Amino acid sequence: MENAAIAAVFEEMAELLEFRGENPFRIRAYRNGAKAIRDLDESVASILADPTRNLSSIPGIGKTLLDKTETLVATGQLPQLEKLRQEIPEVVIQMARIPGLGAKKAAKLQQELVIESLGDLRKACHEDRISKLKGFGGKTQQAILDGLAIAEAAAERIYWSDGDQLAKSIGKHMKSCDTISRMEWAGSYRRGRETVGDLDLLIVAEDRDLAMDHLEAYAERSSTILRGDTKISIRVGKAFQVDMRVVDENEFGAALQYFTGSQAHNIHTRRLAKERGLKINEYGVFSQEDDHQVAGATEEDVYASIGLPWIAPELREDRHEFKWCAEENLPDLIELSDVCGDLHMHTTATDGAATLREMADAAIERNLSYIAITDHSKRVSMARGLDAERLREQWKMIDEVRPEYDGRLTILKGIECDILEAGGMDLPDDCLEEADWVLASIHYGQKQPRDQITERLLGAIENPWVTCIAHPTGRLINRRPPYEVDMEAVMQAAKRCGKLMELNANPARLDLNDVHLAAAKRLQIPVVISTDAHSIEGLDVMQYGIKQARRGGLSRQDVGNTRPWKEFKKLFKRG
């Protein structure tokens, strides 16, 4: 059982126990355990299998969670969770998230009207059945109906890239408000999480009411949720929430640090502050002795007050950042300007929207010095994938085009070659041998057993002509989970065979995830950040891959394609 699946079990246990009103310490233990396991960059199963190691030595994993983890790894199930699921149907939890409904009323509705889905609940509202129940009435029924859309939409976190577009739009609108002197985004958006559930904006403003009026004047605002003296919350579109807090100048850095999070990171900083006789909150850093303010105007001052350098927001998950600080080894995180080449893109030869020359010209406009043209192989028939004959024709065209770009751009002969369902590569070795760059990827058979998918990937890594594994887990965020694969075995094989791992920058993929990237860094496997562009505009998603790489703690040295091509090709083995 993969780490993410074990963590998901513990998170569900915490949610169900909380819904039932259990001991908050027990609930917190499950949540802490879930985070500890999700943040591990090595397999729980491998730790348990090693007699020299003890999983319970990891902070957040006590004896109880150790026992449950062993049960999950051995059987794939947890009897306590199955029992809770029978007691509390998932639909009751979903209904309880509807504004104004709550747990007790949700349970009553489910029992009396046999509600099995939110669709059933909507139907019950339209059929006027809820208003007839004791304790509900017509107004409650209408409120449920109004809240249903909000609950359904709010449950969907949006891609970071979509959140980024919204933040830029709102930011542009708010910058035209003269009363605002400082403004920064906070929350999970600032930390660069793959998806965001809301946006948090912090401002300093001379006239608070005028600043709030200005936010309410944002063209896409659909409603105002609340408005107070220091905070206003609005909805954008159907349900997406944007919170704006107005703080004083001397509080701004402390508020930014606090509301950026994560919660686990902030708990750690508060513990360090306490050890120094200080306390940290959203208003500043204060002396415990006489309560005078020590810091708060800037984040740098906040961290300096507890003996730390400023920590990049992407690292604030309480994974490695405090250890790196203690070792004076905080990484200098990668920047978009560090990237020299893009090694995954498609053209009109298969399912791309632009020609080879158009992609090359667009790459030059983006200051790239080399690209690999990696159209699909023949197995991807819906994309008119290339067989060996058509691929060699494309490579001949690349040879003809190269002189036009001499001194401006190196164009590599590449291919995204499918790993077949039965194992082996989609094109013969004598063809792959002629390439400069070979990506191996899985597009079919993604529901195969874990061992089978792992063997397919290991076979590709051991192929002498494969250089890199593309989108290694196959996930599509919010749409398709990763396939079952032993990533630790895949990573170890890549290191042994001198092969690279891709971070696919497409915002729907961001594959590898941040934990896998941290593992690649630990194992010193060079990562390649590529766009998988199918159009000229697709080349611009590189920025999202950079954000993900930063969350994994990657510096320029950890990413292969920050080097000129002549240096980069020394990082991998072929033949």
CB atoms within 10 A of CB 365: 9
| DSSP E strands, 293-338 | 293-295
Evaluate if residue 93 carries a pLDDT over 90: no
Domain of 274, in residue numbers: 251-326
For residue 59, with 0-12 CB atoms within 10 Å meaning exposed, 13-18 middle and 19 or more buried, which class applies? exposed
The CATH number assigned to the domain holding 242 equals: 3.30.460.10
Residue 151: the pLDDT is 66
Evaluate if residue 102 carries a pLDDT over 90: no
232-284 pLDDT, tens digit each:
999 987 678 999 999 999 999 999 999 999 999 999 999 999 999 999 999 99
What are the CA-CA distances from residue 481 to residues 38, 155, 337, 352, 477 (Å)? 15, 17, 31, 25, 7
- pLDDT bracket for residue 526 (50, 70, 90): very high
Q: What is the DSSP string of 364-428?
A: HHTT-SEEEE--BBTT-GGGT-B-HHHHHHHHHHHHHHGGGGTTT-EEEEEEEEEBPTTSSBSS-
496-505 pLDDT, tens digit each:
999 999 999 9
State the total domains in the chain: 5
Residue 94: the pLDDT is 82
Residue 486 falls inside a structural domain: yes
Residue 535 falls inside a structural domain: yes
State whether 146 and 275 are in the same domain.
Answer: no
State whether 322 and 340 are in the same domain.
Answer: no
> Which residue, among 65, 76, 147, has the nearest Cα to 109 in the 3D structure?
147
HSE-up (13 A, CA, CB side) for residue 12? 19
Give the mean pLDDT of 328-347. Answer: 97
The Cα–Cα gap between 539 and 532 comes to 8
Give the residue carrying structure tokens 């190269």.
402
Among 87, 112, 140, identify where a domain stops: 87
The CATH number assigned to the domain holding 274 equals: 3.30.210.10
Q: Which residues contact 112 (CB under 8 A, 6 or more apart)?
A: 133
Give the mean pLDDT of 105-118. Answer: 87
Pairing label, strands 240-246, 231-236: antiparallel
- Chain mean pLDDT for the chain: 93
19-49 pLDDT, tens digit each:
787 888 889 899 889 988 988 888 898 899 9
Evaluate if residue 460 carries a pLDDT over 60: yes
> Which residue, among 242, 243, 261, 244, has the nearest Cα to 299 in the 3D structure?
261
Residue 389: the pLDDT is 97
What would the two tokens of residue 566 be?
């002549």
CA angle 63, 68, 73 (to 5 degrees): 125
Residue 419: the pLDDT is 98
Q: Which residues contact 139 (CB under 8 A, 6 or more apart)?
A: none
The Cα–Cα gap between 554 and 546 comes to 9
Residue 349: the pLDDT is 96
State whether 456 and 559 are in the same domain.
Answer: yes
> Which residue, among 154, 360, 169, has the nearest Cα to 240 in the 3D structure?
154
> Which residue, among 299, 300, 302, 283, has the nearest Cα to 291 in the 3D structure?
283
> Which residue, among 458, 548, 467, has the nearest Cα to 506 in the 3D structure?
548
The Cα–Cα gap between 252 and 238 comes to 31
Residue 96: the pLDDT is 80
For the ranges 108-122, 304-318, 443-457, the lowest mean pLDDT is seen at 108-122
Q: Which residues contact 199 (CB under 8 A, 6 or more apart)?
A: 163, 166, 167, 170, 185, 187, 189, 240, 241, 242, 243
248-257 pLDDT, tens digit each:
999 999 999 9
pTM: 0.83
Give the mean pLDDT of 347-369. Answer: 97
Determine contact, residues 343/372, Cβ cutoff 8 Å. Answer: yes
What would the two tokens of residue 483 be?
């396939």
State whether 420 and 319 are in the same domain.
Answer: no
State whether 408 and 485 are in the same domain.
Answer: yes
For the ranges 222-231, 309-318, 415-424, 464-473, the lowest mean pLDDT is seen at 222-231
Among 211, 227, 246, identify where a domain stops: 246
Residue 238: the pLDDT is 66
State whether 314 and 411 are in the same domain.
Answer: no
What are the CA-CA distances from residue 547 to residues 82, 366, 503 (Å)? 38, 18, 11
437 bridge partner residues: 414
116-144 pLDDT, tens digit each:
888 899 999 999 999 999 889 898 898 88
The Cα–Cα gap between 222 and 240 comes to 10
> Which residue, among 91, 550, 88, 500, has the nearest Cα to 319 in the 3D structure?
550
State whether 175 and 141 are in the same domain.
Answer: no
Evaluate if residue 155 carries a pLDDT over 70: no
387-432 pLDDT, tens digit each:
999 999 999 999 999 999 999 999 999 999 999 999 999 999 999 9
HSE-up (13 A, CA, CB side) for residue 343? 30
Residue 533 falls inside a structural domain: yes
What would the two tokens of residue 39 be?
């943040």
The Cα–Cα gap between 394 and 552 comes to 36
- Label each residue of 432-471 as H, E or C: HCCCCEEEEECCCCCCCCHHHHHHHHHHHHHCCCCCEECC
Give the mean pLDDT of 199-223. Answer: 95
Among 114, 131, 154, identify where a domain stops: 154
Residue 485 falls inside a structural domain: yes
> Which residue, among 301, 309, 314, has the nearest Cα to 330 in the 3D structure?
309
Residue 154: the pLDDT is 55
Evaluate if residue 150 carries a pLDDT over 80: no
Residue 370 falls inside a structural domain: yes
What would the two tokens of residue 571 be?
């990082």
Residue 331 falls inside a structural domain: no
Q: Collapsing DSSP states into helix, strand and coil, what is residue 332?
A: coil
Side-by-side strand order, sheet with 468-469? 341-342, 370-373, 410-418, 437-441, 468-469, 500-504, 527-530
Give the residue carrying structure tokens 């630790």.
488
Determine contact, residues 231/215, Cβ cutoff 8 Å. Answer: no
State whether 216 and 267 are in the same domain.
Answer: no
State whether 234 and 263 are in the same domain.
Answer: no
Task: State the chain's maximal CA–CA distance in angstroms.
Answer: 81
State whether 309 and 423 are in the same domain.
Answer: no
Residue 383 falls inside a structural domain: yes
What are the CA-CA distances from residue 572 to residues 419, 464, 532 (Å)? 19, 11, 20
Residue 246: phi and psi, rounded to 5, are: -105, 120
What would the two tokens of residue 266 be?
């902030």
The Cα–Cα gap between 55 and 295 comes to 39
Helices 138-154 and 118-126 meet at what angle, rounded to 10?
150
Centroid of chain to Cα 271: 27
Residue 574: the pLDDT is 85
Residue 80 falls inside a structural domain: yes
State whether 552 and 504 are in the same domain.
Answer: yes
Give the residue carrying structure tokens 């990937």.
457
What would the two tokens of residue 154 be?
């709010």
State whether 38 and 14 are in the same domain.
Answer: yes
The CATH number assigned to the domain holding 417 equals: 3.20.20.140
